[in-house]
Amino acid sequence: MKVLDLDMDYFMNEIANTPFACKERLDEEYYGNSVWDEKEVRQFLEQNLGLSQSRKIPGRIVSDHNEALFFWEELINNKKLSDPFDVVHVDSHADLGLGGAAWSFLQKSFLTLPVDSRRKIREYKFCDRVEKINMGDYLLWAVAYKMVSSIVYCANPHGDKDDYVLDTLKDFHEECIWDKPVKNYIQLKYNEIMDMPKLYSSDEYKKKYLEGAIKDPEVELLIIPTIDDVRFAGDFDYAVMAQSPNYTPASADFIIDIFKEYIEEI
C-alpha cells in the first residue's frame, strides 16, 4: 500500500529551517509572499501527484506533522492500512530526525525489541529531559516501528534536500544530491559493544561496528529534488496533509481548503 504524506510548507519558496520555527505562525511580511498561488497548488496536486476531484482519496488534515504517524497507527489498528507501506513524503523537511536525538535513541537497545514492544514506546530521555515523537523525527520513528518499506522524499527545491542523519544510512554511505533523483537507503543499526562511529572514525572502525551490529531491514530513500521530477498517478491508498503552523504563515491556510477537494475526510 502507498500513502501520500504532504506538508503545507512544500508550497513555499522561503523555508523556515530552524526546529519549531516559531511559537505560532511565521511572519507574513517575510514569508507571505513566498506562498504559491491557487493555480500553482492545483497544478501540482493534479499534474504532479495525479490527484483528482472525481477520484477522491481517503485522508485527513492534521496540524503538526507528527500526527501523520498517529493517523497511520489508527488505520493499521482498524485494519484499513497494512504495513509495511510506501510513503511519498512531499515536504520542505525530511522529518528523519536531523537536529534532534531520536536517531541515537532508536539505534540503541530499542533495536533489540520486537515490533509490538517498539510501538509502545513514544518517548525517551535526553539530557535530563523527556523527549516525545515530534514533527521533525516522526518519519524515522515510523521506520523504527517497521511501518515503512520505502520513502520517496519530494524535497522543496529551495531547501537543503539532504536533511537526514548520515548515521542512519546503510553502511554510513550517502549518494550526494544534485539536481536529479538520488537513491539512498536507511538502515538502523546497533552494536552492543561499540560506540556509534564519529565523523572522524576510521573506515576500519566503521567496518567492525557494522560487522557486529544488529541491523533492521533496509528502507529505500529516493530523494526527488525538483518539482518537474515529481510524477505520480494518484494511486495512493490514503493521504494526509499537515498544516505545520510553526513553519507556515496563516495566509497559506487556503491550501488546506484546496486539498480537501481531493480527499474524502476520515
pLDDT at residue 24, rounded to an integer: 86
Mean pLDDT for the stretch of residues 200-217 = 96
pLDDT higher than 80, residue 19? no
Mean pLDDT for the stretch of residues 245-256 = 97
Mean pLDDT for the stretch of residues 181-185 = 97
The C-alpha angle 140, 93, 65, rounded to 5 degrees, equals: 65
The mean pLDDT value of the chain amounts to 96
Given pLDDT bands bounded at 50, 70 and 90, which one contains residue 20? confident
Mean pLDDT for the stretch of residues 225-236 = 98
**pLDDT tens column, 132-154:** 999 999 999 999 999 999 999 99
Mean pLDDT for the stretch of residues 79-107 = 97
Burial level of 72, CB count in 10 A (0-12/13-18/19+)? Answer: buried
pLDDT above 70 covers a percentage of the chain that reads: 100
Given pLDDT bands bounded at 50, 70 and 90, which one contains residue 27? very high
pLDDT at residue 227, rounded to an integer: 98
pLDDT higher than 90, residue 118? yes
CA-atom Rg of the chain in angstroms = 18
The reported pTM is 0.96
The b-or-e profile of 226-242 (16+ CB within 10 A means b, else e) is eeeebebeeebbbbbbb
> Residues 149, 86: contact at Cβ < 8 Å?
yes
Mean pLDDT for the stretch of residues 236-242 = 98
- For residue 152, count other CB atoms closer than 10 A to its CB: 21
Given pLDDT bands bounded at 50, 70 and 90, which one contains residue 11? very high
Given pLDDT bands bounded at 50, 70 and 90, which one contains residue 123? very high
pLDDT higher than 80, residue 21? no
Given pLDDT bands bounded at 50, 70 and 90, which one contains residue 251? very high
